[in-house]
Each structure stands twice: as C-alpha cells, then as structure tokens.
Amino acid sequence: SRDELVCGSSNVSLREFGCEQSLLSRPDGSASFVQGDTSVLAGVYGPAEVKVSKEIYDRATLEVLIQPKVGLPSVRERSQEQCVRETCEASLLLTLHPRSSLTLVLQVLHDDGSLLSCFLNAACMALMDAGLPMSCLFCGVTCAIDADGQIITDPTAAQEKESRALMTFAIDSKECRVMMSSTKGSFSVHELQQCIAVSQKASEKIFQFYRDSVKRRYSKTL
Amino acid sequence: MKDTPLANCERDFLLKAIEEKKRLDGRQTYDYRKMKITFGTDYGCCFVELGKTRVMAQVSCELVAPKESRPNEGIMFFNIELSPMASPTFEQGRQSELSVKLNRQLERCLRNSKCIDTESLCVVSGEKVWQIRVDVHMLNHDGNLMDAASIAAITALCHFRRPDVGIQGDEVTVYSPEERDPIPLSIYHMPISVSFSFFQQGTYLLVDPCEREERVMDGLLMIAMNKHREICSIQSSGGIMLLKEQVMRCSKIASVKVSEITELISKALENDKKARKAGGRCGFAESMPQERITALKMDETPVEMTEVTDRANDIVQKAEAPSQTVPSPVVPVPGVGQVGQGLQNTWGLEEEDEEEENDNSGEDEEVKETKMEVEQHDKEGSKQEDVVEISDSEEEEVVILHPETPDKAPKHTGPSFHQKGAAASKKKQKK
C-alpha cells in the first residue's frame, strides 16, 4: 500500500545548520540560527519589569514577537508567534520569576523553507544564552510529504511548495516528546506517526549540536 | 520595558572624558567605529555593522498605480522598523518620536535628493509603475542608528535587482529571474548620512556617537552628502545654537567620511558580485564567523530512517481504533441541520409558534408561509419523513427550500419535489 512507500526515501537529511550566540550587545540573550539558507535572529530581554496590564501574579509573562523581512507582522506571524510562545512556555520555568516579563524577538533574515522550526531552534539557543531556567530544551523539525508520499525533513522553500503536507514539531530534549505541532495539508495517521518518529530521530542530531555548541562555549581551547 | 537610567556619576565621567579628548571605546574624535557590510542570499538584502550597532535593510518591489500628480514616476517607500530587539525601549507597532525622526531623515536623504531615477521605474504611463519599498530593521542599538540605516538602505538599493518587464501592445509581461536577468536600479549618486554630536553647548564635537555618548549629548547634526561633496540634507536637532564655522567644519569632515564609506560600499558590492558570478554560496550563512567560541556549524547530516516505519506501525497498531460510526447529519425539521442524535433543537421554535398564530393575517409573506406550511406538513406526516438524512444524495434537495419552484417548475420529478409540491398544494387549499 501507499503507507509502505512512505519510508523508502534515503535522502532524509537535515541541511547544514549553524548557530552563533551572544552576537548582539543589547539583549540579555541572542542567537542566530541558520538552516541551509534559512536564517533567523533571536533576541531575549528579561526577566524585567512588566506592564501592570500584562502582569501575572504567579509567573513571568512571556511575549514572543516575530518580525517579517518585508512589511509589518500579519496573521501568519501571529500564528507562528503563538506556536513558539506555547512551546517556550512549556519548557521555561516561568514560576521562578513571578510578576516579570520575558520578551523574545525573532527576526527573519532569510526564508528558504522550514522557517517555523528555525524560529524554534533560534529561540531555544537565545533562551539558553540568556541563562533562563528551563525544565528542558526544545528543538523544531519540519517534515514535508511530497506528492509521491516521500518524507522530506528540513525542506527548502521549493520543496515546501511542492509538498502535499507540511508538519512542524517541537520536540523536548528529555524524552523526545512532541511539545507542539503545526500541520498543513492532508495526511494519514500513519504518515503523521512516521513524521513524528523521523522528527524525533532528527531532534537527536540537533540536541547533540546544542550540546556541542555549549561545550565549545565553555571550553578553554577551540 | 523601561530603559536602564544612566547614573549621574557615569554621565559626569563621560563628559569629563570628552573634555579631555578621550572616548569610552578609545577612538579619536573623528573616528568611525569598525564597519562591516554583508549581503543576504537574495538581492537587495544588506546587513551593516557599525561597531555593535546592527542594521538590516531589505528592498522589495511591487507593481502599483502611480500617483495622479506624477504619472510617469515610480514610487519610493521607506520604512524604518525600530524592532524591540534593538533596544528594550522600542515598542512594536508604535510610532515613536525617534522612528518618525529617522524615517523622515532617511526620506530626505534618499528620496528628496533624487538619487534614484524614478522615471525609469515607469512601466505604463499613468497605469503601472514599480513601487520600491525599503524596509530597514534595527537589530541592535548602540548609537548612530541613522548613519547605519542610511548606509544599509543605499547599499541595499545598489544591490537590488528588479524583474524585467516586456511590453507588447497592451500586454505587460513580468519575467521571472530564470527567464530574463533582473535589472538593477539606476542610481545617480549615493547620499550617506554622517552624524556629529555636540557636548557642552557645542564646545566639543564627536563623530559617530555610540549609545552612551548619545545619552549625554546636547545636540546632534546629521549631514547627508555624496562623494561629489554635494550636501543632500542637513538636520540639526537637540536645540543647540551652532556657529557658521562649526557647520562648515562638520561638512568638511563629512566629505572625508563619505568618500571613505562610499569606497567601502563599492568594494563590498564588487566582492559580492564576484562571489555571485563564481557561483559560490553567499549571504548571511556564509558570513557567520567560524573562529568564535560562540559559533558552531554542522554539515548536512542524514537522519536515520530504519526503525521509523516500525515505530510508526507500532504506535498506530497500539492506538485505540477510533469509533467507526460517524454520526451523519440529520434534518429533524427542513431547514435545520443537526449532528448527533437525540438532540432537541430549540432554535427559533418560538418564532415559528408566533407565526402559526398569525397564520391568516399575512398573505403576502409567501416565503415564510411556505416554510411554515412545510413544517406543519412534516409534523403531521409520519416519522419517516420527519428525519431526512443529508448524507443521502438523492434527497439532499429536500433541505433547500425554494418556495417558488414547485409552482414555476412542475416538470421536475422525484420524491423530493413531490413532497414540496404537496406542501404547496396544501397551502393553496388552506387559502
């Protein structure tokens, strides 16, 4: 059947990816994350004073802002902001900073597919750089299913355009569980489970990268 | 978020250092900070680093109708975005005094100086012209945003390529980059803004103030100039009185700085052109420093796919099968849809009751009456007719009531129309 065809792909890979932390002087934490040609810059401010209208008495208020490259933020950016905010809220220990504000600003530098997963990765690196207490790390993986039913991880913009379905998952570092999912297009339950399994496999690579970059930061030699 | 206030002792220290001709970062009075210009992967994207100040500019284009007063000219649009990333005091989507000031200055620097040939942006006179939009994003605010923004904007404009258009009779074709090489904008000259800050009522002057220096300065003078030493705009703010000699001196310094910066920009543009011609990868990803401990890169990595199928199969099999019985929508009363059984819809029943009471009064309200009649008919009718399943395609038309059709189109046959016809005839009887 078609379901068996799904996993015949051998070119399931992550594009080359890289990250630079603390590259901005003003924010408390900053990171740029690059996946292929897709790149995102993230900056975190906080914990800081919060507006009275946004104050939550038992935890910090997290605000996520996404800045598109051209024009003003629209509905698309709002929905992406919500996906990122909910993932960050799930991993950050917000109760340790009651009545304070955290602001995460994400700037698109170039969009060449898998933008939401790049947002998530940049956000996690920036939160790490800011030294905010978190219960776990998270990463984002985007999977596309093309017209033949093949799974493509970390698709480019062209691959995204030709895909039948597009899914982005946020995966936690402790048990590789799905923290957030955002899907587009139609797919079967089997395909969904396969994409989750692929994303969990891919997340191991990204977490290894996180670990390596932290190790490099605190090493005495390059 | 509020900005961290500057302590009095810090302010005094800065001012005293300036009096002694010393600057916080060890620069001389007329020195610019280190400047770096990089380009994005696509055309018209430029990053400028001026010390720690970081700015990104992106140029885009769109076909629009021209302004009525200038039917042969393209439109230039500038937008400086003070992103909250640059400084905690910047708020998203709010026009602050600073953003208005910067926007206005950039417009005066680039639009009013006529550095771009807007007439070449005309496609069809009075109908279609190119609108060139320049978005400047502030990424990190460490002083002198204006200079960084003007450099980023003009460099991005020089780097930008717009799609080629072909006109054949009345037809306008916009060619994709694959079909025809995109065209650069025609730029006459490159105005660059140079900022001077004044301290102690104009006694001391510094070029390229950093954020700390901007906080303690008394006044600011921005001169936009091109390499031909033509002044494109001068703006003085902060309300200090400048002497003629001071303005002259500043314009002389500006001309030196502008020629240096112009050279840097043309070098950067040339390098990028070479890199693009060579077919190598270029852009932000490639400009990431490799020698820093804060940066790390990983090559393309395959994801292991064995086990994946098994795992997915496993989960799907273990998962509880979803209930197979999907409730089909039912129509208890015509014109009303309902999902799930046993639900009593109380929607609008009261109104119907009212209508029933006023039965004989309104003969002109045919639509309502027909509906009501059908309902009555259904209530009288057997239970089977009471519930009409939408999923049954043949009877689907029962749900849509056209009060006029039974009379006007009696030729239609089928169970559904019989029912309606019956309703209509019944109505007539009653009248």
Q: H or E segment at B425?
A: helix B415-430
- Residues in A closer than 8 angstroms to B305, CB to CB, are 7, 9-10, 12, 198, 201
User: CB of B413 within 8 Å of any CB in chain A?
Assistant: no
All residues at 6 or more sequence positions from B310 whose CB lies less than 8 Å from its CB, including other chains:
none
Q: What is d(CA B193, CA B101) in angstroms, rounded to the nearest whole number?
A: 14
Nearest to A7 among B284, B308, B315 (CB): B308
Q: What is d(CA B144, CA B11) in angstroms, rounded to the nearest whole number?
A: 18
Q: What is the pLDDT of residues B336-357, one digit of tens each?
A: 766 665 656 666 665 555 555 5
Q: H or E segment at B374?
A: helix B366-380
pLDDT bin (cut points 50, 70, 90) of residue A2 is very low
- For the record, the structure tokens of A26 come out as 């003003």
All residues at 6 or more sequence positions from B308 whose CB lies less than 8 Å from its CB, including other chains:
A7, A194, A197, A198, A201
pLDDT bin (cut points 50, 70, 90) of residue B52 is very high
Nearest-neighbour CA in chain A from B31: distance (Å) = 21
Q: Which of residues 193-212 of A touch B (CB under 8 A)?
A: 193-194, 196-198, 201-202, 205, 209, 212
Query: Count H helices, E strands: chain A?
Result: 5, 10
8 Å CB contact of A222 and B41: no
ipTM: 0.90
- Provide the terminal-to-terminal Cα distance of chain A, rounded to the nearest Å: 51
Test mutation, A3, A41, A177, chain B, max B CBs within 10 A: A41
Q: What is the pLDDT of residues B199-236, one digit of tens each?
A: 988 899 999 999 999 999 999 999 999 999 999 999 99
What pLDDT is stored for residue B20 in this prediction? 93
Q: What is d(CA B213, CA A101) in angstroms, rounded to the nearest whole number?
A: 28
Q: What is d(CA B7, CA B177) in angstroms, rounded to the nearest whole number?
A: 55
What values do phi and psi take at A214, rounded to 5?
-70, -40
CATH number of the A2-217 domain: 3.30.230.70
Our CA dihedral for B302, A182, A34, B268, rounded to 10 degrees, sits at: 130
- For the record, the structure tokens of B164 come out as 């080629």
Structural domain boundaries in chain A: 2-217
Q: H or E segment at B115?
A: none
What percent of the residues of chain A are helix, what percent strand, and what percent coil, each to the nearest 5?
A: 35, 35, 30
User: CB of B58 within 8 Å of any CB in chain A?
Assistant: yes
pLDDT bin (cut points 50, 70, 90) of residue B417 is very low
User: CB of B81 within 8 Å of any CB in chain A?
Assistant: yes
- Residues in A closer than 8 angstroms to B309, CB to CB, are 4, 6-7, 194
Q: Does residue A143 contact residue A153 with C-beta atoms inside 8 Å?
A: yes
Nearest to B288 among A13, A20, A194 (CB): A20
